[in-house]
Amino acid sequence: MFLTVAEFVDRVGPVEADNVAGDGPRTARRLDETKISGAIAQAGDLINGYIRARYPAPIDPVPEILKGFAVDIALYRLRLKTGDMSGVTEQVKARYDDAMRQLRDIQAGRLAIDANQPGAANRPAEETPVLVAGEPSRAGRVLDGYLDGAVDGRRW
The tally of domains found in the chain comes to 1
Confirm whether 126 is domain-assigned. no
Q: State pLDDT tens for residues 11-30.
A: 999 999 998 998 888 888 89
Decide if 66 is inside a domain.
yes
Question: Residue 107 falls within a domain, yes or no?
Answer: yes
Query: For the range 68-72, what are the long-range contacts, defined as Cβ-Cβ under 8 Å and sequence gap of 24 or more?
Result: 68/11, 68/99, 69/2, 69/43, 69/99, 69/102, 69/103, 70/2, 70/3, 70/8, 70/40, 70/43, 70/44, 71/3, 71/7, 71/8, 71/11, 71/12, 71/43, 72/96, 72/98, 72/99
* Predicted local distance difference test score (pLDDT) of residue 125: 45
Q: Which structural domain range is residue 48 located in?
A: 5-117
Instruction: Report if residue 123 sits inside a domain.
Output: no
Please tell me which residue, 153 or 78, carries the higher pLDDT value: 78
Asked, for residue 136, whether it belongs to a domain, the answer is no
pLDDT at 56: 82
Region 59-78 average pLDDT? 94
- Rounded to whole angstroms, the Cα distance separating 88 from 41 reads 20
Q: The whole model's pTM is what?
A: 0.71
pLDDT average, residue stretch 73-102: 87
- Is residue 53 assigned to a domain? yes
In a domain, 122, yes or no: no
Residue 132 falls within a domain, yes or no?
no
Average pLDDT of the chain?
81
Q: Which of 78-87, 99-108, 112-121, 128-137 has the lowest mean pLDDT?
A: 128-137
